[in-house]
Each structure stands twice: as structure tokens, then as C-alpha cells.
Amino acid sequence: MLEKNVLIIGTGGREHALAEALTIKSDKFKTNLFFAGNSINPGIVKISSGYKKCTLDRFDLIDKFIYEKKINYLIVGPEAPLADGIIDNLGLEKNNLFCFGPKCNFAKVESSKSYCREIMNKYGMSQYSPQHAIFNSSNDIHSMFNCVEYVYKLNSKSGFVIKNDKLCGGKGVFVSNEHVNIETGLIKCKEFFEKGNKFIIEEKLTGPEFSLMTISDGLNCKHFPIAVDFKRAYPGDKGPNTGGMGSICFPDNNVPFLTSEQIEEAKSINERMLDALKKENNNEGYIGILYGSFMLTDFGIKVIEYNCRFGDPECLSLLSLLKTPFIDVLYACAETKLNDIELEFNDECSICKYFVPENYPDNPKKNELLDLDFINKIAEDNNLLVRYASVNHDVESVSKKCISLGSRTFAFISLNKDHRIAYNNIENGMNAFFKENKNFWWRKDIGAPGEFWEKRT
Ligand code: AMP
Ligand code: GLY
């Protein structure tokens, strides 16, 4: 057995899901897991051999930790360090390290929404974008005039969407008739102009949304099953956008609202994007996850955005279904031999739901005490998996308290061939926790039996 030391950057739900995927037994490798981040995730710490507590902009401390622990593989969970160039800045040669994640030039596909649209236009993929216009200049009267005119024009058709160009943790998007009207939308635009911020205005699209994650070793790529993310805070997909309140994968990747041709089309869009990014970067290949966020409209599949890492919560659903040891996947990527392995998934559905604190996302309550034994007992009783997110387990203190930090707190995941059983199990678990913890809530409607699960023709 070869030993591999793996460092996960980040301590949220996505990183806990990655850590668990690294516990899938491999015939070839024994994994020693380490993590770095600002908090201690009780799920990750339990299965790891060590950690570095630091903010994710401290590349110097992370580099030192990589060197000390003789890390072989680095996985970067969140987008911010990727956009800040963590992959470019760690001592690749000195440490003989393989980094699973894109360099910052590639991460721009997520960190600048206008760059993403420009690349799509440049490489013949404009048919997959909604109509859009990019606004940049702070005091340009023409630009402001054009912006007002554009908002009115879109408003008279299907509506408009205003998006901050840069990373906003899923909270920089304002959709007409949902978050803004023409007046408040134009005020948003004015604010962007005044601050000199780049922003983008898009035609409002409608239709079911889905996520497709594609893994790339720089030369070859493979696709994950489709996942559906529920981004809105309230039932019926209403309310402000959040990081994602829950997610679903379907039995056998049989997505009720997509034909197999449409799934193939989404795969080919991701492949074309990987190709475009390669051409933009002197033929260097993209390494890591390319996550396409799509909408099926009456005019075909459209790209809502691209992300340069695993989706959270999508990867909580997806990686719970993964059968292939993730360490084998990392090895294959490191050796540019992704084509030599199969990504195998079990054929159940996967429903994932986050508990979020009172007043999330606007003014969330924090510092609630969490009883980990109680959560584990509920999971056991209801056949659920647990993934911790915005919490800190103070393992260094005598009290060893685990407290909530104010964002998505933890998720239960329920797997079953029958979606009704999966739903009942997860709802029983959520209710059992809520009974004793009234300061948290979740979206009951996610995964509920009904037309969502039925094949549409
Ligand atoms: P994003 O951060 O770009 O993924 O956007 C967050 C959410 O805003 C998406 O999941 C959609 O629900 C919504 N959204 C973004 N762009 C559009 C669009 N052009 N039309 C309709 N809804 C959109
Ligand atoms: N699920 C949304 C995101 O990860 O950006």
C-alpha cells in the first residue's frame, strides 16, 4: 500500500464531503488526511491526522505546513483562494506537490462573470448565454444612459438580472420581479457606477436549473451526475439567494426534466469551455473541477454561470453516491490518467438539506451550541449522513464545545432508491433536531414527493 498525504484547504460542508470521499477504501493507497482553515470542522477533524488553523490567504503558513507534513496532494475547496492564486503561489517544485484546483487565470471563469461571458462569445458558445451587456466605467454618462436603456428594454421583455462581476458568495445577483423592480434595480446599477464596480446585466431566463461538475486532469475529463441546487432561502424557490439550502441527485442520473440528449449537450458545453480555457492559457490544461450552472429554457440549455470548484451543497449529494475511492481519482489526475479510471456512483437518489440559523442569510444568529452526539444519534436512527459546515469545534479547549458560526450550519443527506423513503428519513431527522434546537430552520419542500420527481415529456 502506498501512503499519500492529502491536504484539504477549507473547512466547510464541501470540504467535509471531500474528506469523507477520501475515506472510501482504496486497494492501492492509504490516505493520511490533513486540513487547513479558519475553523475546526468536527467531521473533518475526526478523520484527519493534523491541521493548520489559519485564514486561507496565508499562503506562507500553508506552504510551510505542506512542507512539514510532506503533503502529496492538495485539494482547494472554496473559490476565493483559487481566485487569489493559491495554486500559483504554493511551492510546487520544492514540495513535489500535485494541486487539484485551477490556477488563478483559469479561476477567472468564476471570479469574473464578464470574463466568462467574453470567453463564451470568443469561442463560439454565445448561443448558450442569455443576452447580456457589461458595464464598467464609473462616471461615463453614455454608459449610464446605455444601462438605463438596456434595463428598460429587457424589462419590457422577459425581465432583467443584475450581477456584480466579482465573487459575492452567491449573494451578488438581483433578479427582476424577485429581488428588485425597475426602480430598485436602477438604484443598484447607480451604486455599482458610483463605486466604480464592473457589473453585468442579463436577460432574465426561466426554467429548471441544474449543475454539472466535470473533473479535468489537464488533458482528459469525466463528468459527475447532474445535481439540482436549491439556492433560494424560502420554500417554492422564493426569497434571497443563498449559498444553497439543499441539493438533489436522481436515481441512476435519471433527471426528470432532462432528456439524455440534453445531459449530453450540457457535458459537451463543459468540454467546450475546458477547451476554450486551454486555448486562452497557451494550451495549458485546466486542472480541477469545472462546474457549469445551467438552465433549461424554452430556447434550449443556457449557461447561468461557471464555477471553478465543487458546488456546495451539490457535492454533498454527489460525493455521497461516489463508489470510486477519491484517492484513486486524485492519483489519476496527478498522473494525467483520468481516462484510465471509472467514476462509479451508486444508483440511489441523494437528498441533502442544510440547517441554517435564524435570520439567515441577512442577519444570521451565531454561537449556538451544537450537541454532536445528539446529531450523530439522529443520523444513525434515520439512516442519514452528516456533513458539518459553518461550525467550530474547539477541540483544543477543555470544554470541546462545538458552536455555530452563522452560515449554513450542517447538512443531513439521505440516500435511497425510492425518493419517498429518502425524503421521509431526512424529514424525520430534521424534525428530531429541530425539536431540541428551535433556532435553526430548513426547507421542508426540498425533495418532497410530487411532480418534481416525475419524468416530463
Ligand atoms: P449565479 O450566482 O450567477 O449562479 O446566480 C444565482 C441565481 O440567480 C441562479 O441560480 C439563478 O436562479 C439566478 N439567475 C442568475 N442569472 C440568471 C438569469 N440570467 N436569468 C434568471 N435567473 C438568473
Ligand atoms: N451551489 C452553489 C455554489 O456552490 O456556488
Residues 274-289: tens digit of each pLDDT: 999 999 999 999 999 9
pLDDT at 136: 84
Whether residue 329 has its Cβ less than 6 Å from ligand 1? no
The β-bridge relationship of strands 209-217 and 221-234 is: antiparallel
Residues 175, 302: Cα–Cα separation, whole Å: 16
Whether residue 229 has its Cβ less than 6 Å from ligand 2? yes
As beta bridge partners, residue 291 has 213, 307
pLDDT at 456: 77
Please give the model's pTM, rounded to 2 decimal places: 0.96
Choose among 128, 134, 103: nearest CA to 277.
103
List Cα–Cα distances, 293 to 213, 214, 216, 232, 345, in angstroms: 9, 11, 17, 15, 21
pLDDT at 95: 67
pLDDT at 143: 85
Residues 142-160: tens digit of each pLDDT: 788 899 999 999 999 999 9
Name which residue sits closest to atom 16 of ligand 1, judged by CA: 304
Nearest ligand 1 atom to alpha carbon 132: 19
Name which residue sits closest to atom 4 of ligand 2, judged by CA: 311
- Cell numbers for 411: 447538512
Ligand 1 centre distance from Cα of residue 322 (Å): 28
Ligand 2 centre distance from Cα of residue 21 (Å): 19
Whether residue 12 has its Cβ less than 6 Å from ligand 2? no
List Cα–Cα distances, 454 to 40, 153, 248, 299, 300, in angstroms: 40, 37, 14, 22, 20
Nearest ligand 1 atom to alpha carbon 293: 4
**Which segments of the chain have a pLDDT < 70?**
91-95, 137-140, 457
Whether residue 209 has its Cβ less than 6 Å from ligand 1? yes
Top mutation candidate among 113, 173, 307 for ligand 2, by most atoms within 8 Å of CB: 307
Name which residue sits closest to atom 3 of ligand 2, judged by CA: 311
As beta bridge partners, residue 248 has 228, 351
Whether residue 241 has its Cβ less than 6 Å from ligand 2? no
Whether residue 241 has its Cβ less than 6 Å from ligand 1? yes
Ligand at shortest distance from the CA of 80: 2
Residues 435, 451: Cα–Cα separation, whole Å: 29
Residues 210, 188: Cα–Cα separation, whole Å: 27
Whether residue 203 has its Cβ less than 6 Å from ligand 2? no
pLDDT at 142: 73
Ligand 1 centre distance from Cα of residue 110 (Å): 13
